[in-house]
Amino acid sequence: MNPFEYLNAINDTKKDIMVDDIAEKGYSSFMVNRGLSYFNDTVLFANEMNRNHHLDNRLQFDFLINIIRKRKRFSKWMKPEVVSDVEVVKEYYGYSNEKARQALTLLTPEQITMIKKKAFKGGRK
């Protein structure tokens, strides 16, 4: 099952979708806890489940579905930035991660491609 279905059941529908062993094996506590960690009212419950990671999937799901209040919760999941541009700027200028990210905001796409061409060492990608 999709981890978003479990999050929807915990947050909104309050419907017990863990009806068999297949659904219990499909439960990913990491993904559910990550999804709950984006909200102020559920982050502590997600942390509690992280602390008690040794519990069965069914017990974790039952705890979360019964303790979290019903509410529509939606957020965009954070995704990593394009690492290749940061790495190229770090290597070319000798910057740290933070300085390279700041420099990327100042550089134009043409400048980034020029830096990539100059920093390219050859070989396979």
For residue 51, being part of any structural domain is answered with: yes
**Tokens 């479990």 — which residue?**
6
- The domain of 106 spans 83-119
Mean pLDDT of the region 50-78 = 92
Q: Closest Cα to residue 70, out of 15, 14, 17?
A: 14
State the sign of the Cα–Cα–Cα–Cα dihedral 99, 39, 66, 70.
negative
Structure tokens at 38: 């984006």
Residue 89 banded pLDDT, cuts 50, 70, 90 = very high
- For residues 122 and 9, which has the higher predicted lDDT (pLDDT)? 9
pLDDT at 1: 80
Is 80 exceeded by the pLDDT of residue 124? no
pLDDT at 63: 95
Is 70 exceeded by the pLDDT of residue 125? no
101 and 55, same domain (yes or no): no
Task: Indicate the average pLDDT of the chain.
Answer: 90
First to last CA, the chain: 35
55 and 89, same domain (yes or no): no
55 and 28, same domain (yes or no): yes
61 and 87, same domain (yes or no): no
61 and 7, same domain (yes or no): yes
- For residues 77 and 19, which has the higher predicted lDDT (pLDDT)? 19
Structure tokens at 24: 């219990």
pTM, rounded to two decimals: 0.64
Backbone dihedral angles phi then psi of residue 69, each to the nearest 5 degrees: -70, 150
48 and 95, same domain (yes or no): no
Domain count, the chain: 2
Residue 31 one-letter amino acid = M
Structure tokens at 65: 């579905």
pLDDT at 122: 77
